[in-house]
Amino acid sequence: MRHVRHIAIVSFLCLGACASTHADSPISQHAVGSGYASGSREPERRFDETGVRMISDQQAGLVVRPDMLVMEARIEKEDANAGKAFALAQVAVADLTTRLQRATSGAAVFVPCGTQVTPVGGRGQEAAAAGAFRVLLEGRIEVALAPELDYWKRSALVVALAEVADWYEAARAAKTADRGVSLSGTQVIVKNPESYRGKLTELWVQRARAFAAAAQAREAPLHLLDCAPPGDIVQKQRSLEEVALSVSLSCRLGSLKAPPGATPAARSP
């Protein structure tokens, strides 16, 4: 007698991730350069808040402590000469790095990611009089969070970054020579989420087995038949102390007379 298979599709999503969702920054049609992938808009901070909120409704397959605090940075300088504007931006980056190192006891670094050069004003002499070029450097600030740092020490780093951000905001408002630097978008992340793939897969297998045990019939046990390639690991910030990790896995379970690879029992004569 032919055996009738009962097939079930099993998909488990282990939630997570802290990806940037900022829209691309507006650039003139004459802009030249490579934009940063996160492409944040000109942040209108106006002494806005800086920090990491608690998000209580994030589900997760695995919750871990973040090991990095990140923040987006933009450095914008203008000059009649594009090379001079770029040099001013480089000096501003060096100054920013010094302030970050001082504020975080050497834990913060600036990682450059994109460069854009935009003509401003008109062309020729008119452009030179108006400040002919705007150079925009985009990047991110990375602050390593050592495992031994407790909540209070991590919070102190957030406060230190907020003070640096507000110092630059004050320079913008006062129109001093240090204006043109803006910091925004504080987040905590896991720097290498792939290191948790094995644990996430193990948790998924445990859930799949529990589902199979609950759903199968006694005379038709469920077995794993095949799986689709696993997805990327996603992470979502839950708080300053927690990041939710997830991976999308999809496998097909089916009922067989015997588990895959088993040798059928010999029939009696």
Report the domain count for the chain. 1
The mean per-residue pLDDT over the stretch 145-160 comes to: 95
The mean per-residue pLDDT over the stretch 210-225 comes to: 70
Is residue 266 one of the residues assigned to a domain? no
Is residue 253 one of the residues assigned to a domain? no
Helix H or strand E encompassing 203: helix 197-215
Report CA-CA distances (Å) from 63 to 5, 58, 70, 175.
37, 10, 19, 44
Residue 135: CA count within 13 A, CB half-sphere:
19
Which tokens in the block code for residue 186?
A: 């504080």
- pLDDT for residue 97: 95
- pLDDT for residue 51: 60
Secondary structure class of 131 (helix, strand, coil): coil
The string of pLDDT tens digits covering residues 106-148 is 999 999 999 999 998 755 555 455 558 999 999 999 999 999 9
Phi, psi of 9 (to 5 degrees): -100, 125
Is residue 17 one of the residues assigned to a domain? no
Cα–Cα distance, 237 to 144 (Å, whole number): 16
- pLDDT for residue 12: 31
Residue 81: CA count within 13 A, CB half-sphere:
4
- pLDDT for residue 182: 93
The mean per-residue pLDDT over the stretch 249-264 comes to: 62
- pLDDT for residue 47: 45
254/177: higher pLDDT = 177
Domain hosting 87: range is: 32-190
Q: Is the pLDDT of residue 54 over 80?
A: no
Q: Considering the chain, what is the average pLDDT of its residues?
A: 75
Cα–Cα distance, 213 to 63 (Å, whole number): 26
- pLDDT for residue 144: 95
Is residue 243 one of the residues assigned to a domain? no
- pLDDT for residue 1: 39
pTM: 0.66
pLDDT > 90 in the chain, percent: 48
Is residue 212 one of the residues assigned to a domain? no
Is residue 131 one of the residues assigned to a domain? yes
**8 Å CB contact between 55 and 236:** yes
Q: Is the pLDDT of residue 157 over 70?
A: yes
Is residue 199 one of the residues assigned to a domain? no
Is residue 248 one of the residues assigned to a domain? no
47/209: higher pLDDT = 209
Bridge partners of residue 53, in order along the sequence: none
* β-bridge pairing 68-79 and 133-144: antiparallel
